[in-house]
Amino acid sequence: MMNLSRSVALISLFLLPFLSSSFSVDNPTDRRVLVLLDDLSLKSSHSTFFNTLKSRGFDLDFKSADDSKLALQRYGQYLYDGLIIFAPSTERFGGSLDSKSVADFVDSGRDLILSADTSASDLIRGIATECGVDFDEDSSAMVIDHSSFSVSDGDHTLIAADDLVKSDVILGKSKIEAPVLFRGVAHSLNPTNNLVLKVLSASPSAYSANPTSKLSSPPQLTGSAISLVSVMQARNNARVVISGSLQLFSDRLFRSGAQKSGSPDKYEKSGNEQFVTELSKWVFHERGHLKAGSLVHHRVGETDEPAIYRIKDDLEFSVEILEWSGKSWEPYVADDVQVQFYMMSPYVLKTLSTDKKGLFHTSFKVPDVYGVFQFKVEYEKLGYTTLSLSKQIPVRPYRHNEYERFIPTAYPYYGACFTTMAGFFVFSFVYLYHK
């Protein structure tokens, strides 16, 4: 009995690398996703969302949040590429999962969708704080908006939000027309943190308070500082979506019509399904994931990369950048990729021109300074992976025989010397042979 289980474990250990056919450098879309639920009825109440994920090829593994066999890693290898935590009221995860293991999961470059709701537990708030997002400290507070609520609602807690971030890469090319319905808690972002971003903000008239009790003091979180859905892209390009409402993902709000109070436009279907689908495409690296080839540089007219440049050389520089389309690597097209020729500060900063096939190139003259320079490409565009490439190259001054032989500004002096010599010659003749 023991031998059998041990041999099965050994065989699965050998097969594990082959079973993990996902999330490599060549194929960055996540495949296996662990879904943690605190209430298994979420499987059916949010079935549309999960079915769209499954139809795009994800393997969803549904587990209860306090399942005692929960594990993200086995024998040092991660079992999943993505994590969805729809368990806002869970105080403690089961198994070997805790907020530190979730933080390590994101640190390893893997993606996370975290949703809180009213009565979010400290565990969920702790994970959100690790990602740079602070939920309202009052656990009974919800987002209330008396001028931007959905007309189908009674107590103004179902917000119809349309303040979306302007980013085609995060939210897709087609504009989300209908407002997105939201009912849940507010969170705010630290303004000095440049890794987090508000995707869905509340309107300026929103505030976060307990809807059932009277307000005794002005609410802390108000207006557009309230974020309803935020994303974070870590420095290792792991992507995290944090939402204050679990109902945002539910079938009921997907299907419901939306009409913002005070606006005459009535939409048959809210923008929730489009919003959630496009956001899940972004967070699981189906869009906006860039890969760069190595930096290539050489002198104009040559093809080999020299080991050292001379000052005032003409050189050509190129780099190849590809974008993952979800299925294959496509050429990346943009007009704002720049290269720096850098030694303590950029001596040359040029915008690269693209040939639309993924190759970005430019040419410039090496500056009149010698030292050890770097070609640096630092690309940080909203919603795209950060590219940080550099290549070192020394630059030498002129050799003693590379200077110009005759200096043009000194031609009068050359002329004067030779004229004087000629004058001396003529003078000697005249002096000797005059009568």
Partner 1 sequence: MVKSTSKDAQDLFRSLHSAYSATPTNLKIIDLYVVFAVFTALIQVLYMALVGSFPFNSFLSGVLSCIGTAVLAVCLRIQVNKENKEFKDLAPERAFADFVLCNLVLHLVIINFLG
Residues that bind partner 1 (CB under 8 A): 407, 409-410, 412-414, 416-417, 419-421, 423-424, 427-428, 430-432, 434
Q: Which is nearer to partner 1, 166 or 434 (CB)?
A: 434
Nearer to partner 1 among residue 224 and residue 420 (C-beta): 420
Closest CA to 339 of 318, 308, 310, 356: 318
Give the span between the Cα atoms of 67 and 80, in whole angstroms. 16
Nearer to partner 1, 166 or 435 (CB): 435
The least CB distance from residue 366 to partner 1, in Å, is 23
Helices (H) and strands (E) in the chain, counts: 9, 27
How far is residue 279 from each of residues 185, 237, 240, 258, 434, measured CA to CA in Å?
A: 19, 15, 10, 20, 104
State which residue, 57 or 413, has the beta carbon closest to partner 1: 413
Alpha-carbon distance of 399 to 311, in angstroms, equals: 10
| Contact (Cβ atoms closer than 8 angstroms) between residue 49 and residue 276 | yes
Smallest distance from partner 1 to CB 433, Å: 11
User: Which pair of tokens denotes residue 402?
Assistant: 């590379």
Q: Which lies closer to partner 1 via its Cβ, residue 265 or residue 368? A: 368
DSSP string covering 22-83, please? Answer: S--SS--S--EEEEEESSTTHHHHTHHHHHHHHHTT-EEEEEETT-TT--SEETTEES-SEE
Q: Least distance (Å) from partner 1 to the CB of residue 409?
A: 6
- SS3 assignment, position 2: helix
User: Which residue's CB is nearer to partner 1, number 15 or number 411?
Assistant: 411
Query: Which residue's CB is nearer to partner 1, number 18 or number 429?
Result: 429
When the beta carbons of 344 and 432 are compared against partner 1, the nearer one is 432
218: its two tokens: 């002005």
Give min distance, CB of 319 to partner 1, in A: 40
CB of 405 to partner 1, least distance (A): 9
* Min separation Cβ 416 and partner 1, Å: 4
Amino acid at 62: F
Taking each helix axis from N to C terminus, what angle separates 122-130 and 99-107, rounded to the nearest 10 degrees? 30
- Rounded to a whole number of angstroms, the minimum distance from the CB of residue 428 to partner 1 is 7
DSSP type of residue 412: H
Q: Which residues 6+ apart lie within 8 Å of 355 measured at CB?
A: 361
Q: Report the nearest approach of partner 1 to the CB of residue 429 (Å).
A: 11
